[in-house]
């Protein structure tokens, strides 16, 4: 099976945990697109009902509306039953690197407001340690771009300003820039996260520590579910 088929299988397995009446966090990215398609299909068939979604990005909001998924927001519904999202990298402790799609700030807000967070990936996203395959997206204020770039370099990272398809700085939904920062293999992601969170110019980072309830991994030989502990 190709990577898109694996993504679809993992996403549809995640949707099997959705129950009628739930408030659902809707992640961002190529994998969670398949989850939205499956939720829409189940709503139309009547298998699911009274589902309300909270999107983690403008792109997800647009797609959910096109698919007929009812939406709400965190100010009306501050507690989420279940969030389905993807990840760029997952370590053996279910810590994550997220933010390849540029929505890390809203994704983390939604994750922290969720009773459960299901992450869907294919087997290429699994690592022993974070940083083996993916740089850490660091969302920074436009005002603080150069000081935070220097700070990340002092921490041993190699920051690179994310650009859009036109070669201009990529701007997030919250009007910030992203520095994709290669730290190499990260032995202690919690300690690195703490250092990043101490900087006023860093709005958020893509290290998601202890937020995943389970990770659904689509492998060529089938689906594996990884759980905490």
Considering the entire predicted model, what is its pTM?
Answer: 0.95
**CA 208: distance to chain centroid?**
9
pLDDT in tens, 6-37: 889 999 999 999 999 999 999 998 889 999 99
The pLDDT value recorded for residue 141 is 98
CA dist 85 and 30 (Å) reads: 10
Query: Which region among 113-117, 123-127, 143-147 has the lowest average model confidence (pLDDT)?
Result: 123-127
The tens digit of pLDDT for each residue in 179-207 reads 999 999 999 999 999 999 999 999 999 99
Closest by Cα among 41, 30, 25, 39 to 2: 30
At 8, give phi and psi (nearest 5°).
-65, -45
| 146 three-state secondary structure | helix
CATH of the domain at 93: 3.40.50.1360
Output DSSP code: residue 114: B
36 exposure class (CB count in 10 Å sphere: 0-12, 13-18, 19+) = buried
- Specify the number of domains making up the chain: 2
118 and 73 assigned to the same domain: yes
| Contact (CB, 8 A) for 53 and 110 | no
Structure tokens at 207: 């290290």
Pair 118, 89 in one domain:
yes
The CA distance from 161 to 138, in Å, is 10
Shared domain check, 197 and 98: no
Per cent of the chain over pLDDT 90 is 90
Residue 30 sits in the same domain as residue 112: yes
- Domain shared by 7 and 46, yes or no: yes
Residue 2: pLDDT band (50, 70, 90) is confident
Range of the domain at 198: 136-203
Mean pLDDT of 77-98: 97
pLDDT at 45 exceeding the cut of 90: yes
- Check whether residue 161 and residue 117 sit in a common domain: no
- 113/171 same-domain check: no
What is the tens place of the pLDDT at every residue in 130-188? 999 999 999 999 999 999 999 999 999 999 999 999 999 999 999 999 999 999 999 99
Residues 86 and 145 in one domain: no
Q: pLDDT band at residue 91, thresholds of 50, 70 and 90?
A: very high
Q: Do residue 75 and residue 47 come from a single domain?
A: yes
Q: Are residues 113 and 153 in the same domain?
A: no
Residues 213 and 199 in one domain: no
CA pseudo-torsion sign 25, 29, 31, 34: positive
Flag whether pLDDT at 221 surpasses 90. no
CA separation for the pair 51, 48 (Å, rounded): 7
88 lies in the same domain as 107: yes
Per-residue model confidence as pLDDT tens digits over 48-67: 999 999 999 999 999 999 99
Instruction: Name the 3-class secondary structure at 140.
Output: strand
- Active-site amino acid positions: 107
CATH number of the domain that residue 186 is part of: 3.30.70.260
């Amino acid at each position: 099976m190709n990577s898109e088929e694996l993504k679809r299988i993992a996403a549809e397995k995640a949707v099997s945990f959705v129950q009628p009446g739930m408030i659902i966090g809707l992640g961002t990215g190529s994998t969670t697109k398949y989850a939205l398609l499956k939720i829409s299909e189940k709503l139309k068939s009547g298998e699911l009902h009274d589902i309300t979604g909270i999107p983690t990005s403008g792109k997800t909001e647009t797609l959910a509306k096109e698919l007929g998924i009812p939406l709400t927001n965190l100010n009306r519904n501050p507690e989420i039953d279940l969030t389905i999202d993807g990840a760029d990298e997952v370590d053996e402790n279910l810590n994550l690197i997220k933010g390849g799609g540029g929505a890390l700030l809203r994704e983390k807000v939604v994750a922290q407001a969720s009773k459960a967070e299901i992450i869907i990936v294919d087997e290429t996203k699994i690592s022993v340690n974070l940083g083996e395959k993916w740089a850490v997206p660091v969302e920074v204020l436009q005002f603080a771009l150069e000081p935070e770039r220097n700070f990340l370099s002092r921490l041993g990272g190699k920051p690179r300003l994310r650009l859009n398809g036109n070669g201009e700085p990529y701007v997030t939904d919250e009007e910030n820039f992203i520095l994709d920062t290669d730290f190499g293999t990260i032995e202690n992601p919690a300690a690195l996260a703490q250092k990043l969170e101490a900087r006023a110019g860093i709005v958020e980072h893509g290290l998601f520590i202890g937020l995943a309830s389970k990770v659904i991994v689509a492998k060529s030989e089938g689906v594996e579910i990884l759980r905490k502990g």
